[in-house]
Amino acid sequence: MSTPGFEGAPVSKALALWLVVATVIVKSIGVEGDIAVDIGTHGERWQWWWRMMAWQMGYATSMETLVGLWAVYGLRVVERVWGSRKMMVSFAYIHTTYIPTLSPIWGLVCPSGGVVGGSDKDG
């Protein structure tokens, strides 16, 4: 039987805490619309490539936060099997290489215009 909670999984615990804190910060300063990314508009037309990385740092809605926490809570099992160091390095590698690379590709392929992270307030 698996140990409940985040016992023995400090990286997953820190990630979950960061998700909640980042969402509270995003909500309190009112930049929900700024972290939503429309690949076609922000990437191709305005050249705001930094937003491809910024939208991963916090969530705009409580539902996105809940799903993110659910995913991180599931990763605690992987962290216990792999160890904290290997988990942290693999997570950092995936989020700095694959996600910024695949996000623009998904946005160009997606027929809905490639909105990632919610609806944009500007449009």
C-alpha distance across the termini of the chain, in Å: 49
Q: Is residue 22 part of a domain?
A: yes
Q: Could you read off the pLDDT of 88-115 as tens digits, one per residue?
A: 888 888 877 877 777 667 767 765 554 5
* 8 A C-beta contact, residue 69 and residue 14: no
* Domain membership flag for residue 122: no
Domain count, the chain: 1
pLDDT digits (tens, 9 = 90+) for 37-54: 665 665 566 656 666 666
Is 5 inside a domain boundary?
no
Residue 29, in any domain of the structure: yes
pTM, rounded to two decimals = 0.65
| Domain membership flag for residue 112 | yes
Mean of pLDDT over the chain: 76
Tokens of 54: 């910024």
Does a structural domain hold residue 123? no
pLDDT tier, 13 (very low <50, low <70, confident <90, very high otherwise):
very high
Two structure tokens written together for 4: 């409940």
99 lies in a domain? yes
In a domain? residue 121: no
pLDDT of residue 107: 67
Per the structure, the complete domain to which residue 78 belongs is given by: 10-116
82-95 pLDDT per residue, tens: 898 998 888 888 87
